[in-house]
Amino acid sequence: MRTETAHAKLNLALHVRARRPDGYHELESLFAFCADGDGLSAAPREDGAVTLAIEGPFADDLEAGADNLVLRAAHALQQASGTQRGADIRLDKRLPVASGIGGGSADAAAALRLLVRLWDLRPMEIDFPAVAASLGADVPACLGARTVFGTGIGDRLEPVELDLEGVPVLLVNPLVPCPTGRVFQGWDGIDRGPLDPMDWRRGRNDLAPSAIALVPEIDEILAVLRAQLPVLARMSGSGATCFALFAGDAERDAAARRIADDHPGWWVMATSLR
């Protein structure tokens, strides 16, 4: 049995620069990852079959069918490596689904990392960037689960030398659906300028106004987070998860307790950056 964490992804800043003819958007984003996230485990099978069982607090929001990104990742890796081995995979779904923190993409990336070890594959013999990109725009960033600057549709990645490891962070989600497609469709089309990844605190999330129009609770969450006096509070990705960075663990944990007590219907996770 092998285990792997699907680290929650944060867009510390997200600038939308243009809408492309193919329907995608030109983006600039600083990706960072949390120490915590979904959990995956797997046991080997010698018959080549891959199975998936889902448990955890958000298991009911996700289907274990052929379109699940974990299964797609497993099958893509089988094809790329030529292995005849299979796996029984279990996904502990701890992150809200479609919540702007890369849940599905992080799960797919974690499945790739997990199965490479389970199947004793040689990573240098596999085109991992191509396999990851075939699964979705955010999967390449989630594969390394390290701070990177993304451009294009988020698929062109550059390492960034920022000392973020261990920074306390609090994630909050209203548990209200925030459809990614509609959020991007609602972007106002105005290019507000580039993102300097070394000066990301002065950045922004250009999708926040569109997401708030769809899910007004996001605005309330941001106001509540800012009232906790964090270093920074912002929405991640296309929402609805928002995050706040704190100067210390004690401040983060106190804010987590207050918010959980005052808003029992919200999802709250206290963690740190990695």
Active-site amino acid positions: 9, 138
> Per the structure block, which two tokens stand in for 7?
């680290």
CA–CA distance, 91 with 11 (Å, rounded to integer)? 24
Distance between CA atoms of residues 154 and 161, nearest Å = 18
For the record, the structure tokens of 59 come out as 């298991």
